[in-house]
Chains A and B, each alone.
Chain A
Amino acid sequence: MIEPLRRLIAAPVVASLLLISAGGTVLAQDPPKTADPNVTPNTASAPATPAAPLQAPETATPAAPRKGVFFPETFTLDNGMQVVVVTNQRVPVITHMVWYKVGAADEETGKSGIAHFLEHLMFKATDELKPGEFSRIVARNGGRDNAFTSWDYTAYFQNVAADRLELVMRMEADRMANLRLTDETVLPERDVVLEERRQRTENEPGDKLSELVQASLYVHHPYGTPIIGWENEIQKLTRDDANDFYHTWYTPNNAVLVIAGDVTVDQVRPLAEKYFGPIAPRPVPARVRVEEPPFGAERRVILRDAEVRQPSLRRLYGAPSYNRGKTAQAYPLQVLSEIVGGGATSRLYRSLVVEQRLATAAGTGYSPDAFDMSVFGAYVSPNPGVDMDKLEAALVEQLEKVVNEGVTAAEVETAKTRMEREAIFARDSLRGPAMSFGVALTTGRTIEDVEAWPERIAAVTVDQVNAAARAVLGQANPVTGLLLPAPVREAAAGQAGQPSPTPSAPPVSGTSGMIR
């Protein structure tokens, strides 16, 4: 197995790769550390975040074990700010995160990118801090900090020694209420964001296609607008736009504090009351996004780019999320994705890669983590010389087979066991639980939903999986995205690197896990 392919098949990576869900993709202020792969010793395999909240600990105690995954404690401040604490005493370290229930899908039409731009600007001045000082103070205290923006949420975090909790909480509370923007800091940062867009999207044909596919999937709903924004609109964003967005959405009653690590709820409570408690709540607009109208037509998006050395194909179907549509299907659809496209033993990999030898990679992705609707996606990368139409027909044949014949009870049981076992691994980090609660609580779910994930997966039946498959994969209006090499021009022909009709896996780099 090729490692990147395996990880590519892991749900969170695919989610962002295909841009299949609002929750699956985040943009952020800090560039990824472009460490030289030649130096990094075998650490590339660690996935950024666990796919989903995972299973309860296998306890040795015969007495009825507590049901749950991370066993958090929670309370709410008088001003409406919810606090979640996940104690983990492995090392004296904490992850401190503030999540705002606002993202790119809450932007006003014409102001695309303002949620993400504001996220960058939150590292500028407050009454207490000079521009850039926030991150420098965190670093000086041996910590790392960053932030990220999605369609549905914006989050800020610091990883620090447990004894620095008060410091980061004080600073995070300060910038919740006292951000001070000047043109002197705002305008160069807008150029930074434009460079970020160039680096992420313009220089990456696969990501460019993702943006266009997303825009075709959502013709009206704001999930069709890229998180980073359209270039022509980013260029026009101003300090006033940032201030307006900040004053509209950044209030304690619209925020969730999540802390994971070597700290208890009794230690957190007085600090949270001291620093976040005094910030007055303000009414926040309801998050009412326009609804996507029924759109009966199948859509195709074809991007031809000179820098594409291998084509790829993706096919996306609208699907319910945990929060919208037939939400009960969110669990069966996760099981379905595991069976159809989850790894080297999945139906798609076995059929298209191993048996028919048409592809080098094939799989599916589905993440129900979204405030509005979600997406079920399949992707495939052809072997050299394989005709794209033939490849597409083979993919569709497999998907239709699932719709018409269903999956078997044995497949469902095996998939469920895998998913429940995988669960324990999610507890082996601080970021995993913090991310799970942050995403859930900003997209309309509860702590109980996260903790009940293993039970709800365990309760999925083969009939539910097949009904969900028919409902989602049976739709006649998928969006198909094709990434193709540009046709060879006469002048360029004969040069080195001749563009043979040779294909590839989808870009491995995606936007997953990129932060600030």
Chain B
Amino acid sequence: MTRRLSIPAFLSTFVLIVTCFISTAQAIDIKRVVSPGGIEAWLVQDTKIPLLAIKFAFKGGVETDPAGKEGLANLTSTLLDEGAGPHDSQEFQRRLADNSISISFTATVDGFYGGVETLVETQDEAFDLTRLALTEPRFDEEAVERMRRAVLTQIRRDQGDPDFIARRALYETAFPDHPYGKRARGTAESVGGITTDDLHAFVRERFAKDNLTVAVTGDISPEQLGPVLDRLFGALPENAKVQPPADTTPKGAGETILVPRPQAQSVVLMSEPGVKRDDPDWFPAYIMNYVLGGGSFSSRLMNEIREKRGLTYGVYSYLVPFQHAAMVMAGGSTANQNAGKMVELMKEEWRKMRDEGITQAELDDAKTFLTGSFPLQFTSSEAIADVLLQVQRDNLGIDYLDRRTALINSVTLDDVKRVAQRLLDPAALLTVVVGKPEGIEPTRTMDDVPS
């Protein structure tokens, strides 16, 4: 469909084009498209391959599950493509498979994400199935019980996974009275109690135009996309009913929690309060983290603990910027007899970073990596759409990709030192160790994480 003069202005698709340099050599055009019905999406048009990736998200994720119904968002995410409108589960899945359409839904912290990948030749079917999944999911008993069994199975399987156990122990300690401390999949009990009414209510209340974000990459013009947006999302209600949780600060400072497990290797996980994405210190913290443990073989943790001492296959740190809390975390695994040594070495790097900051060479290297590697992720339609979606969700502005390099390059040594002193305190780390570690003096032992 093209824009024609005979169509009243309010029915046409609005397009704004912003050119962003994602590297010195590469600019991409991001088009802000507003559909006749008022739905906004960011588009990167690419006609080289006849396919299309659409990514979208609704604000509010697993943390907004009602008390006692933990796991509702996750269970819903497994069921939207298990029958909708006139199609039962097998028919819906057959249409997806036969047309090579991939529809996915994921409930995570702070957001409920969806995605569609389709060839242009089958896009009409893809649009119809996606709309049905969002607006008319059936929640037939057979499908609900089948997916409930699958989720319960995953919950059980998680209980044998040392990495999962470490995360559970840490999150439950850091957020004892906040939904962030709850398990995204819910518990066997809460998932067992979710009813079809709960599922329908979730869809009714949570999918709406006012909490929707959309990003598209692929072989579609802005003028074609406008009506498609209305076709996909136009039937959603205007307003969502979501109660976001309160802002909070992670607890458990200085605690060392041991979860004994009969395994060959100890898994270590640590955390401290961090910075949210909108914090003015975000980029200094981002660079600090890169040098500390975010930069793989270029990082201090990897160099000290793996390269120099051979104590681990992997040790890393990362920032966790939730909407209502933030953490800086670090983790890794090592043979049980070396667990105490590894925790000490990690804390020592924490201390060194706080006391001394980073060197000019480290700052320069971090900047060239963090700016230079950015375009590497723009190599598939899905990945480009993911970036566009996240930039919108983080409210960074449509010119963000253009400004990003300058934001990173403006960080100074003093900025990094300031943020390191603000964030890092080895004595205040919350530490979790899962396994049969030697050299660890726990402040608390958890026999098991609750199922």
Contact = CB atoms under 8 A, between A and B. Distances in A.
Contact of B50 (A58, A350, A353, A422): A58
A428 B372 contact: no
A161 B375 contact: yes
A343 B376 contact: no
Taking chain B's interface residues, is the majority helix, strand, or loop, or is none over half, making it mixed? Answer: mixed
Interface string B92-125: 0110011110101110110101110101011000
Given A2-B78, A41-B393, A310-B157, A188 B106 contact: no
B224 to A, nearest CB: 16
Contacts of B167: 36, 38
A92 B142 contact: no
Interface stretch (A326-334, A364-372, A413-421): A413-421
A507 B156 CA distance: 12
B146 A357 contact: yes
Interface stretch (B194-202, B231-239, B305-313, B350-358): B305-313
A496 interface: yes
A44 B106 contact: yes
A142 B372 contact: yes
A131 B307 CA distance: 9
B263 A203 contact: yes
A436 interface: no
Interface in B119-142: 119, 121-122, 142
A135 B393 CA distance: 33
Interface in A83-113: 90-93
A427 B162 contact: no
Contact of B26 (A41, A92, A202): A92
Contacts of B335: 194-195, 198
A3 B389 CA distance: 20
Contacts of A57: 49-50
B162 A345 contact: no
A459 interface: no
A324 to B, nearest CB: 31
A343 B99 CA distance: 13
B412 interface: no
B363 to A, nearest CB: 12
Interface string A133-149: 00110011111100000
A93 B154 contact: no
**Interface range, A side:** 35 or more
Contacts of A507: 157
Given A41-B390, A141-B372, A144-B376, A5 B320 contact: no
B296 A45 contact: no
B329 A192 contact: no
Nearest to A32: B314
Contacts of A36: 167, 318, 320, 329
B108 A37 contact: yes
B141 to A, nearest CB: 12
Nearest to B364: A140
Interface residues of B, number: 111
Given A42-B55, A198-B335, A203-B162, A58 B368 contact: no
B119 A343 contact: no
A360 interface: yes
A187 B311 CA distance: 11
Nearest to B381: A428
A81 B75 CA distance: 52
Contact of B25 (A40, A161, A309): A161
Interface in A317-346: 343-345
B105 to A, nearest CB: 8
A46 interface: yes
A31 B313 contact: yes
A277 to B, nearest CB: 27
B18 interface: no
Nearest to A58: B50
Contacts of A37: 108
A431 B297 CA distance: 21
Interface string A18-42: 0000000000001111111111111
17 contacts: A3-B106, A37-B108, A38-B184, A39-B109, A41-B113, A45-B106, A46-B380, A57-B50, A58-B121, A92-B23, A135-B297, A139-B296, A141-B372, A161-B23, A199-B265, A345-B93, A428-B49
Give the 7 A-B CB pairs with smallest separation, nearest first: A142-B372, A31-B314, A191-B310, A188-B310, A42-B113, A421-B100, A202-B264
Given A45-B102, A135-B296, A381-B153, 4 more contacts: A42-B111, A160-B376, A203-B264, A344-B90
